[in-house]
Structure 1
Amino acid sequence: MTQSGLRGEGPAVEDTMPLAQHEKNAGGGHGRRGGGGGRGSRGTGGRRPKRRVLRWSATVLAVVILGTAGAGYLYYEHLNGNIRKGERDSGDSKAQKTKANADGQTPVNILLIGSDSRNSDANVALGGSRENRGSPPLGDVQMLIHLAADRKSAEVVSIPRDTRVDIPKCTDPKTGTKYPATNAIINESLARGGAGCTLATWQNLTGVYIDHWMTIDFAGVVKMADAIGGVDVCVKQNVWDRSTALAHGGSGLKLTAGTHKVKGVQALQWLRTRHAWGSDLLRARAQHMYLNSMIRTLKSQSIFTDTGRLLDLAEAATRSLQVSEEIGTGKKLYDLAMQLKTVPTDRITMTTMPNVQDPQNRDHVVPDGANAQKIWKLIQDDVAFDANGKTEDAKKDAGKSGAKTPPATQPAHPDGQIGVTVQNGTRTTELAPIGHRATAISDELVGKGFTKASPDSTTTPSASQTVVRYPSAELKGDAERVATALGIPTTSVEKSTDVSGVTVVVGADWRQGSTYPKQETPKAGDIPENSDAINGADTKQCMDVYKPYQW
């Protein structure tokens, strides 16, 4: 390295002297120039070697910092370039964004979708079914991840792929193709407008606003499993998921009884196996065991503080995942991961939506009425599925619904001048609508002085919860006045561009009576028995193997 001289000096000679020698020369005189050379001398006594070393070191440090920053920026841009993004919501969905709790915190809801796409050589090789190459992918794995507002707990709810639900009207953001609303099994939603349609389907079913979605295909699972380095899983008997007289196909998973570390293709086989467990519902349990084990593995490896491992995982994740556009950068995904990592394993609960056999098709299921609603209510109110929180947290949250109740807005009109439309939304996937509910509630409003209330028999939406909607800010107070008259909490009053005036949608939670039923305050850990809950700290989980697939 060369340096320009100061005050007209010529270029200095290249400084190749060892640092120790510089220090020895610099120690010859305090406040003096060692030796006797003049100011312009090029000899080692003609200038302060220590100053030259400092300048040299500072220059090198600057180059290193700039070089590292440049490399970091280029790598960051590389990761961003890996990420595939899509529209968050491409369907007709009414869910409202979750309000902040009393401390100003908001939960985060993420929909994780496992696609069965065969639209690449890698996916065909891993998933077989070559005849389906080019067909729209189906969402065979669907899980809602709820990260609590205080970031102290997390809940995961799976919906079986063969659950019959109402899929709303959706538009494919890539092709512009419009799909009409339909009633079908939920895994078809991915093929009717992409992940944004699946998100809209979940929002309408659960009443939960979902902030983001992520999708991953067969090849992506293999990449992620390899980056993690393997995850422990357990079977009680020898298992071989293969074609049998009972069912064609199979994942190919073959393990002896006991605990095994699976990675790569074998991890994918574990996640895809269903015949060997006995049902699609039990496949969800095996997936939950895998995810819990993966989380424990990542925490035990301190992967978030191991730069090399973290970069490997970042590379695999950004190449494997497709995400909704609002989290489509490496930084936003990293920030989200940092929030998830703060949750202790014993505050993570994996569940499956309570369900019952579909009366229309014994091979399908439908939500289990009140039990399914209980799960969604816990998430809506940001109440933990576990009871492992600290006592002081429980006391703090006692009687708190999880969302602030906003101050009431004064109505703009007297009761008798408020136009109110009432719709019957009591229909559910598993239950027919209750007849004349819109008429009954509109009559109740008329009796309370809302003489302009009337039923709307032309629209019969499906609503899990009763809501009061209004189209613009000046009608908010009127909507809240109507809600109060019926005993509906003001937290169920929401702005919507889908209505032209104050509209009461009588939901599945109000199928009888003229007064809105009092809702129980959800309690932490109070989840239905048929939700098949597994705690993240439970290391003793082990899958039973269906007899025909034992060897």
Structure 2
Amino acid sequence: MSLTPKVSEPPTRSGGRAGRRGGARRAGGAKTDRRRRRRRALRWSATVLAVVILGTAGAGYLYYQHLNGNIQKGARANGDDSKAHRTAPNAAGQTPLNILLIGSDSRNSKENLKLGGSRDHVGDPPLADVQMLIHLSADRKSAAMVSIPRDTRVHIPECKDPETGKTYPQTNDIINVTLARGGAGCTLLTWENLTGVYIDHWMTIDFAGVVRMADAIGGVDVCVNQNVWDHPTPSVPGGSGLKLKKGTTNVKGEQALQWLRTRHAWGDDLMRARAQHMYLNSMIRTLKKQNVFTDTGRLMDLAEAATKSLKVSEEIGTVKKLYDLGMQMKSVPADRITSVTMPNVKDPQNGNHVVPDEANADKMWQMLQDDVPFDKNGGKPGAKKDAGKDKPAKKPSLDPARLGVLVQNATRTSTEAAVPQRASAVGQVLLQKGYARAQADTSGSLAEDKTVVRYPSADLAGDAQAVAEALGIPMSQVQQSTGVSGVTLVVGADWRTGAKYPKKSEPKAGDLPANADAVNGSDTTKCMDVYSVYRW
């Protein structure tokens, strides 16, 4: 969230020096005075900004500490079972930045209860009804916002609640329950295991926070193709209460929250994700037009709203770090920001849920892992980066014949059963390549989207890389993990047949799956269609 306020002219005073002297000034002199006043106002605003944001001495320092005190913080991840890996730096040494934004449905305050509905849920752990990954490219020239529908059934790893100490066992459930199973750190861990993308930070915001931020920003333009009223019907109870006329409306406060919560009027939860993307794109366009240096009162309003509204992972829990994040996002051109929803299909176990569309979702996760832009507006790509990245970086510590390698069958998916004897078949391939101590794990089948080679400690990194090279597995899929006791080959759903790992063509900029529902940040023509029952 940027703390950038809206542009406004410095207020004019009555009784200035011209009035006290009496008589009219020459036109040229009046213009000169106006320029001087504007320069003084800009200098004064910049000085106050430095005090408020950077925290200098005296009252400014106290206010800075006050803002820092507003911010709630929590652990980045609430478990050790992460299967993600960091993207390698580009030629300039830069790495992408990934932030998980979570919208909580908490009713555990009077303010949230007033905005969020049923008293039946007071005291319940909050659910993560909105989940969106914000990806800033390594060069900060493009960005992506990726949503996963709240009713997506996924594998949820073991998580520990840092506040209560309670440990939640791994399970298979819809992704919005992750927030109730150890907090935002558990949601982050679930995302990492699903996508393979390392997530640097998380932020959560509740109903009241959305209202405060919408008011502080000054409103956001949204658009509908028909009059909309998201109200209860005889067959469908509930509804956000959103009521707008056809066309564009600037929504603030509670009305902004209604827009973000509306589902029935758009048709389903997937269309709600589209409406949320349109709102955020519009908000970013609004913030990009605003200037922090000309309205310090508005800056303070935004700072108060943001710090009171957000709970963040502890490593970004200061005003300056949040401000820096906002400025990085603001620097990305609108036409280089792309919003998408994870490609999905109906859950065969429950028609009200969805599961990832494996092939298309994996393609999108690969683009994030490789920092490939979701748009085609970046011009011609430069020289191929990271040449030689699929060569081992370290030498093996053991001869292949002496290295123990455990092979696990993880070819099971949410829609397909595991391939029988797959671990044994790949283990035979390793035996033929000189790994005499390779053996299949017969304890049962697992579920992994992507094949990986894991190792427990740095001294076995070269050995794990050698195993990957022997089978044609990319070095980016070799990971250190505390969850294994030796070099472990996990044969995933992307390698269900064949003796050699299948090569995949590298994704290209803008080559998104057709069912990702992509929306470009500069597109101001998009309006939501209203389901007929909710038109008026």
TM-score by length of 2: 0.87
- What is aligned with 1:433? 418
Change in CA separation of 1:235 and 1:401 when aligned onto 2, cut-off 3 Å = farther
1:390-405 to structure 2, matched below 5 A, reads 390-391=379-380, 394-396=381-383, 399-400=384-385
CA distance in 1 between partners of 2:507 and 2:315 (Å): 31
SS of alignment partner, residue 176 of structure 1: coil
* TM-superposed deviation, 1:321: 0.4
Q: 1:93-172, aligned counterparts within 5 Å?
A: 93-172=82-161
Kindly report which structure 2 residues correspond to 1:48-447, keeping only aligned pairs within 5 A, or say none. 69-91=57-79, 92-303=81-292, 306-391=295-380, 394-396=381-383, 399-400=384-385, 408-447=393-432
The alpha carbon displacement at 1:435 in A equals 2.0
**1:517: which partner in 2?**
502
* SS of residue in 1 equivalent to 2:57: helix
Q: Which runs of no fewer than 5 residues in structure 2 stay unpaired?
A: 1-46
Secondary structure at the aligned position of 2:222 is classed as strand
Q: Distance in 1 between matches of 2:418 and 2:133?
A: 27
Could you say which residue in structure 1 is the equivalent of 2:43?
none
Q: For the pair shown, which has the larger CA radius of gyration, 1 or 2?
A: 1
Report the RMSD for the aligned CA atoms in angstroms: 2.0
The answer to whether the aligner puts 1:474 opposite 2:459 as a matched pair is yes
Instruction: From 469, 480, 484, give the equivalent of 2:469.
Output: 484
Alpha-carbon offset, residue 99 of structure 1: 2.5
Q: Which has the higher contact order (CA 8 A, sep 6+)?
A: 2
Give the whole-Å Cα distance in 1 for the aligned partners of 2:95 and 2:199. Answer: 12
In structure 2, the partner of 1:493 is 478
Q: C-alpha distance in 2, partners of 1:403/1:345? A: 34
Shift of 1:155: 0.4
Question: In 2, Cα distance between the equivalents of 1:243 and 1:183?
Answer: 32
Pairing 1:506–2:491 present: yes
Stretches of structure 1 that go unaligned for 5 or more consecutive residues are: 1-60
Contact kept? 1:86, 1:322, Cα under 8 Å: yes
1:202 to partner: Cα distance: 0.5
In the alignment, is the contact (CA less than 8 A) between 2:408 and 2:445 conserved in 1? Answer: yes
Q: C-alpha distance in 2, partners of 1:173/1:282?
A: 34
- Alpha carbons of 1:372 and 1:458: their partners in 2 closer, same or farther (altered >3 Å)? same
Given that 1:102 and 1:402 are in contact with CA atoms closer than 8 Å, whether structure 2 keeps it comes out as no
AA aligned opposite 1:390: G
Name the counterpart of 1:455.
440
Is the contact between residue 392 and residue 466 of structure 2 (CA under 8 Å) also seen in structure 1? no
**Range with bigger deviation, 300-309 or 119-128:** 300-309
Which position in structure 1 is the counterpart of 2:518? 533
Aligned residues of 2:226 and 2:245 also touching (Cα < 8 A)? yes
SS at match of 2:382: helix
* Partner Cα separation in structure 1 for residue 102 and residue 394 of structure 2: 40
- CA distance in structure 2 between the aligned counterparts of 1:102 and 1:432, rounded to whole angstroms: 42
Change (3 A) 1:115 1:79: same
SS at match of 2:265: coil
Alpha-carbon distance, 1:373 to partner: 0.5
Identity score, percent = 68
**1:495: Cα distance to partner?**
1.5
Q: What's the offset of the Cα at 1:403? A: 10
**Counterpart contact for 1:224–1:316, Cα < 8 Å:** yes
User: Aligned-pair distance for 1:504?
Assistant: 0.8
SS in 2 for 1:276: helix
SS of 2:264's partner is coil
